[in-house]
């Protein structure tokens, strides 16, 4: 039996290598890395290898890779800045696209359009430099524009849904559609992209004319608040849990005495109870162990079921 499985594993590896050779031959102009550790890219500094990690530079390349994955039945995963992810230690099977090379930002009157891989923070700075107000809330959110649309990222009373007027989305069947704010169906850390499995290619933010120095001052104030409250000196994925109805996740975790709880190298932050920080070569398994312990303890003490905001993906 063991021999049978070894042979199966060898055959799968052979098939994988052949497919890889095809993929690289087919797209010589796209940077593609094999067995690339994702811990180099994630904000938690954890995560095993992507079988293949591709860096498309434009929409055409994204489309070609998506078509290839569909035709060859290769599992496909899209990453932005990997700031809201725990990639498991076994890595990600198949083809992983990272969109950070698609980062152009343009301004037309009061509309800012950013490609999916543009940093959300950079987008807020471009808006500020054009004296456009509305995006200040996002000044310190370290995700990409695609990730912000996907998650309806928000902070300090602002949410992406308040300013994103449309997004261009590539659907798994290869069609591309401009989705309106309504069609994006934003909710608390939710958008319709999570259900449709589309890939956000770009987004347009409709802003208001404002005063440059006031916008800059607001962004600085919010970033100062972040620095004061959040453990930004250590790897993390931001707030790990969603806000439960009627409670604050951080307060429940603090009141349960969980700050400082550690599994391996992952620790509930002593500075901000909603964060789990990587203090010493923590693995994804360490993160998951801390998450489970926090969920079980808070449930037992307060009867509240904490749901993760961070997305846990990949193979064990």
Ligand X SMILES: Cc1cc2nc3c(=O)[nH]c(=O)nc-3n(C[C@H](O)[C@H](O)[C@H](O)COP(=O)(O)OP(=O)(O)OC[C@H]3O[C@@H](n4cnc5c(N)ncnc54)[C@H](O)[C@@H]3O)c2cc1C
128: tokens are 């500020």
- The contacts of residue 206 (CB under 8 Å, 6+ apart) are 110, 111, 134, 163, 165
In the complex with ligand X, which residue's Cβ is closer, 131 or 259? Answer: 259
- Please give the residues from 37 up to 56 whose contact with ligand X meets the rule CB under 6 A: 43
Sole window of 80-88, 103-111, 176-184, 278-286 interacting with ligand X (rule: CB under 6 A): 80-88
Cα–Cα distance for residue pair 225/74, rounded to 1 Å = 44
Is 153 one of the binding residues for ligand X (CB under 6 A)?
yes
Q: Rg (Cα) of the chain, in Å, rounded?
A: 21
Is 199 one of the binding residues for ligand X (CB under 6 A)?
yes
Residue from 149, 150, 102, 142 nearest 122 by CA: 142
Among 236, 269, 278, 295, binds ligand X (CB under 6 A): 236
- Residue 114 main-chain phi, psi, to 5 deg: -125, 140
CB of 184 to ligand X, least distance (A): 11
Is 282 one of the binding residues for ligand X (CB under 6 A)?
no
Sole window of 19-27, 83-91, 179-187, 204-212 interacting with ligand X (rule: CB under 6 A): 83-91
Pairing label, strands 311-313, 85-87: parallel
Task: Render 218-249 in DSSP notation, one character per residue.
Answer: HHHHHHHHHHHHS-TTS---SB-BPPPTTS-H
Cα–Cα distance for residue pair 234/246, rounded to 1 Å = 29
Is 155 one of the binding residues for ligand X (CB under 6 A)?
yes
Is 273 one of the binding residues for ligand X (CB under 6 A)?
no
Sole window of 2-10, 19-27, 52-60, 229-237 interacting with ligand X (rule: CB under 6 A): 229-237
- Please give the residues from 85 up to 104 whose contact with ligand X meets the rule CB under 6 A: 85, 99
What is the maximum alpha-carbon separation in the chain?
72
In the complex with ligand X, which residue's Cβ is closer, 271 or 299? Answer: 271
Is residue 165 part of the annotated active site? The answer reads no
Is 148 one of the binding residues for ligand X (CB under 6 A)?
yes
CB of 75 to ligand X, least distance (A): 12
Size of the site for ligand X (CB under 6 A): 32
- Residue 37 main-chain phi, psi, to 5 deg: -60, 125
Classify residue 200 as exposed, middle or buried by CB count within 10 Å of its CB (0-12, 13-18, 19+): buried
Is 238 one of the binding residues for ligand X (CB under 6 A)?
yes
Which residues belong to the active site? Answer: 189, 239, 309
The residues of the shown chain that bind ligand X, judged by CB under 6 A, are 43, 78-85, 99, 116, 141-144, 146-148, 150-151, 153-155, 193, 199-200, 230, 232, 236-238, 311
């Amino acid at each position: 039996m063991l021999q049978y499985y070894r042979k199966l594993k060898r055959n799968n590896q052979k098939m994988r290598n052949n497919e890889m050779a095809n993929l690289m031959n087919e797209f010589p102009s796209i940077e593609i890395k094999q067995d690339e550790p994702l811990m180099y890219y994630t904000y938690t500094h954890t995560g095993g290898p992507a079988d293949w990690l591709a860096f498309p530079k434009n929409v055409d390349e994204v489309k070609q890779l998506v078509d290839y994955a569909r035709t060859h039945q290769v599992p496909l995963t899209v990453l932005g800045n990997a700031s809201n992810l725990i990639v498991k230690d076994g890595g990600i099977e198949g083809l992983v696209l990272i969109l950070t090379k698609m980062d152009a930002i343009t301004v037309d009157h009061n509309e800012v359009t950013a490609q999916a891989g543009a940093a959300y923070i950079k987008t807020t700075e471009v808006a500020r430099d054009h004296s456009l107000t509305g995006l200040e809330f996002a000044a310190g959110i370290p995700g990409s524009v695609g990730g912000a649309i996907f998650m309806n990222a928000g902070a300090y009373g602002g949410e992406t849904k308040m300013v994103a007027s449309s997004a261009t989305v590539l659907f798994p069947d290869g069609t591309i559609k401009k989705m309106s704010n309504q069609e994006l169906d934003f909710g608390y850390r939710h958008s319709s992209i999570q259900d449709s499995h589309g890939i956000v290619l770009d987004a347009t933010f409709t802003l208001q004319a404002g005063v440059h120095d006031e916008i800059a001052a607001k962004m600085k104030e919010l970033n100062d608040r972040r620095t004061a409250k959040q453990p930004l000196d250590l790897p993390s994925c931001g707030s790990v849990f969603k806000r439960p109805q009627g409670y604050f996740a951080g307060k429940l975790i603090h009141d349960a005495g969980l700050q400082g709880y550690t599994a391996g190298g992952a620790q509930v932050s002593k500075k901000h109870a909603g964060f789990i920080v990587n203090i010493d070569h923590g693995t994804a398994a360490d993160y998951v162990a801390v998450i489970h312990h926090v969920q079980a303890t808070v449930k037992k003490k307060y009867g509240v079921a904490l749901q993760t905001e961070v997305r846990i993906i990949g193979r064990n």
